[in-house]
């Protein structure tokens, strides 16, 4: 079971190294995507990530609302990315013709923007969390229908769950209703 951010922050404040590890593992991919989507290479993106976690370590006791750790980390990563880009481009001579070649006018990556990725990842996390609140039968049914890489035939689902083949649809609808109740809007 995943620990909530506020629990992790409290444990990290108390010197729990496993809490630090949990925080970095939980957020490193998300945070690394921000400078990468801004066009920074792996090394510079890693530098940003290192600065963010160092800043978190220094300011951990100053976080007034640990439940907003995720938002704080994202905002800090965006600011550090912007500062690094400004620092890297400072002092370069500019001319009107430079605008056409300016990397700021190019999309560094055709993948979704960091904000879109953040929203998608947050939604996935909410769904994962909701799955922990529904009963085992519903969890198994929904996983077989939607999450298994191979499409499981209805007959196999019915046999596995011990329910009539014709009740899969109505059971699925009830299970989805249960799941939705635990997903914030």
- The domain total for the chain is 2
Return the percentage of the chain with pLDDT > 70, whole number.
84
CATH (domain of 181): 1.10.10
- Count CB atoms within 10 A of the CB of residue 72: 19
Average pLDDT over residues 154-170: 91
97 with 141, same domain?
A: no
Name which residue leads in pLDDT, 41 or 112: 41
Indicate if the pLDDT at residue 90 is higher than 60: yes
Average pLDDT, the chain: 83
pLDDT band of 105, cuts 50, 70, 90: very low
Indicate if the pLDDT at residue 52 is higher than 90: yes
106 with 142, same domain?
A: no
């Amino acid at each position: 079971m995943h620990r909530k951010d506020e629990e992790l922050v409290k444990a990290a404040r108390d010197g729990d190294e496993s809490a630090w590890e949990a925080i970095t593992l939980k957020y490193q991919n998300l945070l690394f995507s921000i400078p990468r989507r801004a066009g920074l290479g792996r090394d510079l993106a890693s530098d940003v990530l290192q600065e963010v976690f160092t800043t978190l370590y220094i300011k951990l006791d100053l976080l007034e609302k640990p439940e907003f750790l995720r938002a704080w980390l994202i905002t800090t990563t965006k600011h550090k990315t912007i500062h690094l880009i400004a620092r890297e481009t400072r002092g370069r001579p500019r001319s009107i013709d430079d605008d056409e070649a300016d990397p700021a006018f190019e999309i560094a990556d055709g993948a979704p923007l960091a904000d879109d990725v953040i929203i998608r990842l947050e939604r996935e996390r909410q769904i994962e969390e909701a799955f922990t609140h529904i009963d085992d039968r519903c969890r198994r049914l929904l996983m077989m229908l939607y999450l298994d890489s191979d499409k499981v035939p209805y007959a196999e689902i019915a046999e596995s769950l011990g329910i009539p083949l014709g009740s899969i649809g109505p059971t699925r609808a009830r299970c989805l209703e249960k799941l939705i109740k635990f997903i914030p809007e």
